[in-house]
Structure 1
Amino acid sequence: MADPAGCCRPCATCLLCLYSCQWITAKKEKKKGLRTTKCDCSWFFFLLLVFFLTLVWLYFAIIILNDFHNFNEFIFKQRKLWLDWSLLLLIVTAMLITYSAVLLVLALCLQLCGQPLKLHCVHKTLLILTALVVAAAFTGLGIKWAEEWRSARISLQATGPFLHFGIVGGMTLLAWPLASFIYRSRNTGLKVFLLLVYCAVMIALYLAPLGITSPCIMEENQLPPKPALVGHRGAPMLAPENTLMSLHKAVDCDVEVFETDVMVSADGVPFLMHDEELTRTTNVQAVFPERATLNSTAFNWTDLQRLDAGSWFLEKRPFPTVQSLSAGDRDQAAKQRIPSLEQALEAAKQSNISIMFDLRPENHSDYQSFVNATLQVILESGIPLQQVLWLPDGFREQVKQQAPGLQQVYGRKRLQNEKEPLLHVNLPYQDMSSEEIRQYRRDNISVNLYVVNMPWLFSVLWCSGVSSVTTNACQVLKEMKHPIWLLPSSTYLMMWIVADCASILVILWAFLLLK
């Protein structure tokens, strides 16, 4: 077998060694009569499939990083084990994509060099394991975290135009090994089939922008105002969540609303706490080991004040940003205690920001008394009622009567024939499309979406016209003066045409060069 031009014999031998795990020189290969069989081709196509699966999973892994703190909290509730699982996810994903990508590059180089694609059994086993791991990951995502499929739809609005250019580029580069195979193969039927499939895929890719829509394809003068920031439990990347330090850090990030969760102690004092148990964000296991698993509402205010609500933040490091805190911030975080709602309202009033909260747990037998106690604290605090955004649905009519000045925020979309028009809605970012956001905006309905941490997601919602977003990363989104990208439709059209024309020329060049 003659070596193709541009492929030296030592390089071909080395590639064959890495791919086949056998040190076979070109002369030995010729003596043994090694050739690429149908089985070898099947394994190559399986390798190609695994590579694309891992590539898609990498895309999903990057997307779900926006919501991974919720996953960490879920695992803690189930296993009482705190770990930043996002790091493990990225490491495993990087290993899988790197392995399959290296194998694919080796296979393509071997094809260009005219060498047989004899995949070693070790690689075959590892490829099958890779496929099983990725399949299990997608299955688990669909069962336990189905809303992330909707996140993928939103992400395509942010990345669609650029994914298109990337895929066109990748498929264009495949023209070289494809042309090499077609010119070398004696199987006419297979050659025609592969050529037709490749042409069909490329034509579909060239026309794909006809179906790509993104709210960020617009003129600069059409860009809506930047969404206001709502601090999710304050600024939880910079301070322990639901503490006064977190509230003040959120104020430093220019948030307009401090979002929190309220519970009521056994002796009727509303306080800030998200979890129904105190184990994640306090040292309750050390102070009250026999009562650690009780509901947060089972503790009186005196007992709650004995708990440390800050040291866990430094020990568990729920976000990577904890490592970069100054010594002063670390010292302040370690001194945090569970704040009462009264203290939070006073801090919000002094900082001139609004406060939005949910009242938990909704299924508690004393929930009405919780509502009454919370309302009493609000009315006695002296905070302007328009600065308080009321989220709980339970006994809402009673709340409207006793405190008509409160801003009522609904955790649902508006209904047909709504008796009283909604003015504020608070929903997961996956639950509203760009079209719905624009329609609500036209109808003067304020839309707040949660939880938005990544700049790409914030950019899409900004272009869509959302009023505000609840975020853990207020320090990041504060610095954004503009969406990550904004393309006029005419510019995108020009990029589309240029990319397609360049791809066609490169493909023609590849087939003519290797002829």
Structure 2
Amino acid sequence: MADPPGCCAACATCLLCPYSCQWITAKKEKRKGLRTTKCDCCWFLFLFIVFLWTLLWLYFSIIILNDFHNFNEFIFKQRKLWFDWSQVLLIATAVLITYSSVLLVLALCLQLCGQPLKLHWVHKILLILTALVVAAAFTGLGIKWAEEWRSARISLQATSPFLHVGIVGGMTLLAWPLASFVYQTHNTGLKVFLLLVYCTVMIALYLAPLGITSPCIMEQNQLPPKPALVGHRGAPMLAPENTLMSLHKAVDCDVQVFETDVMVSADGVPFLMHDEELTRTTNVQAVFPERAVLNSTAFNWTDLQKLDAGSWFLERQPFPTVQSLSDWDRYQATKQRIPSLGQVLEAAKQSNISIMFDLRPENHSDYQNFVNATLGVILQSGIPLQQILWLPDGFREQVKQQAPGVQQVYGRKRLQNEKEPLLHVNLPYQDMSSEEIRQYRQDNISVNLYVVNQPWLFSVLWCSGVSSVTTNACQVLKEMKHPIWLLPSSTYLMIWIVVDCVSFLVILWAFFLVK
């Protein structure tokens, strides 16, 4: 088989060796009579599918990074082992996508050089394993983390205009190897089939923007105000969560609301704690080893004050930002103790920051006393009641009567026959569409969505008109002065037309050039 012009024998050999895992020179190839069989074509098709499969998983991996801290917490509850599993996810994904990408590029270059596509059996096994690993990852995602499918749908609002350009570009580049194959093969039926499939895909891609919608395709003067920031347990990337240090760091980030979780000790003192057990965020295992697995509410306030609520933050490093903390911040973290609600309310009053909290655990047999104790501390603190955002549904009517100035926040959407109008709702960001957010905004209903950490997600919700977002990354979102991208519809239309026209001309040029 003669090498096509522009493809030297040395280049062909260098391409064949990693793809076929053997040193085949051009002379040996001629002597052996090697050629691409139907089976080889099937393996190339499988390679292409695996590449798309891993590319799709790479996209999902980037999307789920917004919520991966929740996964780390879930694993800790199950195994009592803290590790940032996002590193494993990214490294494994990078290996899979790199491997399939390199093989695909080699195969395309071999096709352009007129060389046989003899994929080695080792690569075949590895490709099958790659496909199985990605399939297992998607299956696990669907079973244990189904809400991430809704996150993916939201992400398309941020990425679809650019994905469209990228996919059109990628499919356009395939015109070269496709043209080379079409001109080399003598099977007319196969030629017609491949050309029909390719043309159908390209026409669909050219028309795809007709179905693409994004809240960020709008005029600059239509952009809603920037959403307010709600600190999720304070500023947990900069300080131990649910501590006074975390509250002060949140204030430095211009956070308007400190979101936290309140529990009540065995002797009736409300304090800040998210987990039902103290093992993740304190040294209870060292101080009270025999009581470490008890519910947080089983400890009295004197015992809770003996616990270190900050050193774990430096030891486990729940976020990469911990590594960049100053020496003073590290010192301050080691001095943190579990704060009482009274201490937090005093700090909030001085900083003029609002407090939004859940009262846990809601299924506790003594929950009404928890409500009474919490209300008592709030009323005694002297904090303006409009700075309190009450989330718990239990005994809400009692709260309205005893503290009518407290702002009631609901963890659900409004009902059709609502007795009294909702003024504030607090929901996962996956639970509200852009259209619903706009409608609530028009009806003067404040919408807070959680937990929003990535700038791309914040941008989509900003364009949609959300009132506020709960975030772990207040220091990142604080610096955003505008959404990542904002395109007037006329500009997007121009980009669409230019990309489609350039792609069409390049495809024509590729077929004429190869011929």
Name the TM tier (shorter chain): over 0.9
The CA distance in 2 between the partners of 1:312 and 1:185, in whole Å, is 65
Once the two structures are TM-superposed, the CA of residue 29 in structure 1 deviates from its matched residue by: 1.0
Once the two structures are TM-superposed, the CA of residue 38 in structure 1 deviates from its matched residue by: 0.8
SS in 1 for 2:417: coil
The CA distance in 2 between the partners of 1:94 and 1:55, in whole Å, is 10
Map 1:158-177 to 2 at 5 A: 158-177=158-177
Once the two structures are TM-superposed, the CA of residue 174 in structure 1 deviates from its matched residue by: 0.3
The CA distance in 1 between the partners of 2:130 and 2:249, in whole Å, is 43
Once the two structures are TM-superposed, the CA of residue 414 in structure 1 deviates from its matched residue by: 0.4
SS in 2 for 1:58: helix
What per-residue deviation string (whole Å, max 9, x for no partner) do you get for residues 194-249 of structure 1?
11000000000000000000000000000000000000000000000000000000
What per-residue deviation string (whole Å, max 9, x for no partner) do you get for residues 468-496 of structure 1?
00000000000000000000000000000
Counterpart of 1:348? 348
The CA distance in 2 between the partners of 1:180 and 1:18, in whole Å, is 22
Counterpart of 2:82? 82
Counterpart of 2:256? 256
SS in 1 for 2:410: coil
1:73 and 2:70 correspond: no
What per-residue deviation string (whole Å, max 9, x for no partner) do you get for residues 161-207 of structure 1?
00000000000000000000000011111111011000000000000
The CA distance in 2 between the partners of 1:12 and 1:186, in whole Å, is 23
Counterpart of 1:102? 102
The CA distance in 1 between the partners of 2:194 and 2:362, in whole Å, is 60
Counterpart of 1:14? 14
What per-residue deviation string (whole Å, max 9, x for no partner) do you get for residues 95-127 of structure 1?
000000000000000000001101000000100
Which moves more between the two structures, 61-70 or 17-26? 17-26
SS in 1 for 2:463: helix
Counterpart of 1:152? 152
Counterpart of 2:369? 369
Counterpart of 1:207? 207
Counterpart of 1:495? 495
* Letter matched to residue 310 of structure 1: G
The CA distance in 1 between the partners of 2:209 and 2:129, in whole Å, is 35
SS in 2 for 1:469: strand
Counterpart of 1:54? 54
The CA distance in 1 between the partners of 2:195 and 2:346, in whole Å, is 71
What per-residue deviation string (whole Å, max 9, x for no partner) do you get for residues 379-410 of structure 1?
00000000000000001011111111100000
The CA distance in 2 between the partners of 1:39 and 1:262, in whole Å, is 64
Counterpart of 2:475? 475
* Letter matched to residue 60 of structure 1: F
The CA distance in 2 between the partners of 1:14 and 1:476, in whole Å, is 46
Counterpart of 1:32? 32
The CA distance in 1 between the partners of 2:476 and 2:338, in whole Å, is 26
The CA distance in 2 between the partners of 1:79 and 1:420, in whole Å, is 45
Which moves more between the two structures, 183-192 or 248-257? 183-192
SS in 1 for 2:51: helix
* Letter matched to residue 25 of structure 1: T
Once the two structures are TM-superposed, the CA of residue 14 in structure 1 deviates from its matched residue by: 1.1
Once the two structures are TM-superposed, the CA of residue 332 in structure 1 deviates from its matched residue by: 0.2
* Letter matched to residue 479 of structure 1: E
The CA distance in 1 between the partners of 2:33 and 2:189, in whole Å, is 23
1:407 and 2:407 correspond: yes
What per-residue deviation string (whole Å, max 9, x for no partner) do you get for residues 141-165 of structure 1?
0000000000000000000100000
The CA distance in 2 between the partners of 1:371 and 1:54, in whole Å, is 50
The CA distance in 2 between the partners of 1:402 and 1:386, in whole Å, is 14
Counterpart of 1:229? 229
The CA distance in 2 between the partners of 1:8 and 1:135, in whole Å, is 39
TM-score of the aligned structures, taking structure 1 as reference length: 1.00
Once the two structures are TM-superposed, the CA of residue 26 in structure 1 deviates from its matched residue by: 1.3
The CA distance in 2 between the partners of 1:99 and 1:181, in whole Å, is 24
Counterpart of 1:219? 219
Map 1:328-347 to 2 at 5 A: 328-347=328-347
The CA distance in 2 between the partners of 1:370 and 1:104, in whole Å, is 61
* Letter matched to residue 45 of structure 2: F
Counterpart of 1:277? 277
Once the two structures are TM-superposed, the CA of residue 28 in structure 1 deviates from its matched residue by: 1.1
Which moves more between the two structures, 441-450 or 27-36? 27-36
Map 1:264-303 to 2 at 5 A: 264-303=264-303
Once the two structures are TM-superposed, the CA of residue 32 in structure 1 deviates from its matched residue by: 1.0
The CA distance in 1 between the partners of 2:367 and 2:96, in whole Å, is 49
The CA distance in 1 between the partners of 2:332 and 2:188, in whole Å, is 74
Counterpart of 2:456? 456
Counterpart of 2:194? 194
The CA distance in 2 between the partners of 1:189 and 1:168, in whole Å, is 26
* Letter matched to residue 200 of structure 2: A
Counterpart of 2:137? 137
* Letter matched to residue 110 of structure 2: L
Q: How many residues get paired? A: 515
The CA distance in 2 between the partners of 1:490 and 1:132, in whole Å, is 44
Counterpart of 1:44? 44
The CA distance in 2 between the partners of 1:9 and 1:323, in whole Å, is 51
Counterpart of 2:245? 245
Counterpart of 1:118? 118
Once the two structures are TM-superposed, the CA of residue 33 in structure 1 deviates from its matched residue by: 1.2
1:326 and 2:326 correspond: yes
The CA distance in 2 between the partners of 1:353 and 1:59, in whole Å, is 37
Structure 1 residue runs of 4 or more that deviate by more than 2 Å after TM superposition: none
* Letter matched to residue 32 of structure 1: K
The CA distance in 1 between the partners of 2:239 and 2:62, in whole Å, is 25
Once the two structures are TM-superposed, the CA of residue 296 in structure 1 deviates from its matched residue by: 0.3
The CA distance in 2 between the partners of 1:473 and 1:208, in whole Å, is 34
The CA distance in 2 between the partners of 1:419 and 1:52, in whole Å, is 51
* Letter matched to residue 465 of structure 2: G
Counterpart of 1:181? 181
The CA distance in 2 between the partners of 1:397 and 1:43, in whole Å, is 66
SS in 2 for 1:401: helix
Aligned-residue sequence identity (percent) comes to 90
Once the two structures are TM-superposed, the CA of residue 497 in structure 1 deviates from its matched residue by: 0.2
Once the two structures are TM-superposed, the CA of residue 56 in structure 1 deviates from its matched residue by: 0.4
SS in 2 for 1:193: helix
SS in 2 for 1:328: helix
* Letter matched to residue 23 of structure 2: W
Identify unmatched segments of 5+ residues in structure 1: none
Map 1:295-314 to 2 at 5 A: 295-314=295-314
SS in 2 for 1:109: helix
Identify unmatched segments of 5+ residues in structure 2: none
Counterpart of 2:509? 509
SS in 1 for 2:369: helix
The CA distance in 2 between the partners of 1:114 and 1:27, in whole Å, is 14
